[in-house]
């Protein structure tokens, strides 16, 4: 547990990632449990979460996906699969 009671296993270091790269990573071919509606929701949420300079961290992606999960728009399996894809990409 961190100083304020919470630590994340996801990095807060921001990386440059384009809209096209996000769409490729969120593809149903990479995360087969996503349907086309979920794919679109995830793309929109992650693109919106990026800063104006096109940078985003794994932690910010996790936050965006968790918000969708908590709204029952994607499943836990979807979120975990997407986090694996983004973690590998941003290594």
Alpha-carbon torsion angle 15, 16, 22, 25, nearest 10? -50
Alpha-carbon distances, residue 44 vs 3, 5, 37 (angstroms): 33, 30, 11
Considering the chain, what percentage of its residues have pLDDT values greater than 90?
76
pLDDT tier, 81 (very low <50, low <70, confident <90, very high otherwise)? very high
* Residue 91 structure tokens: 């290594």
For the stretch 33-75, pLDDT in tens is 899 999 999 999 999 999 889 999 999 999 999 999 999 999 9
Q: What is the pTM of this model?
A: 0.87
What is the C-alpha separation between 1 and 78, in angstroms, rounded?
A: 26
């Amino acid at each position: 547990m961190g100083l304020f009671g919470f630590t994340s296993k996801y990095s807060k270091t921001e990386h440059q990632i384009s809209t096209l790269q996000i769409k490729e990573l969120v593809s149903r071919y990479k995360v087969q449990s996503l349907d086309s509606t979920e794919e679109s929701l995830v793309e929109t949420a992650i693109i919106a979460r990026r800063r104006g300079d096109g940078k985003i961290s794994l932690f910010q992606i996790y936050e965006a996906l968790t918000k969708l999960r908590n709204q029952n728009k994607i499943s836990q399996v979807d979120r975990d699969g997407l986090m694996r894809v983004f973690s590998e990409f941003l290594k």
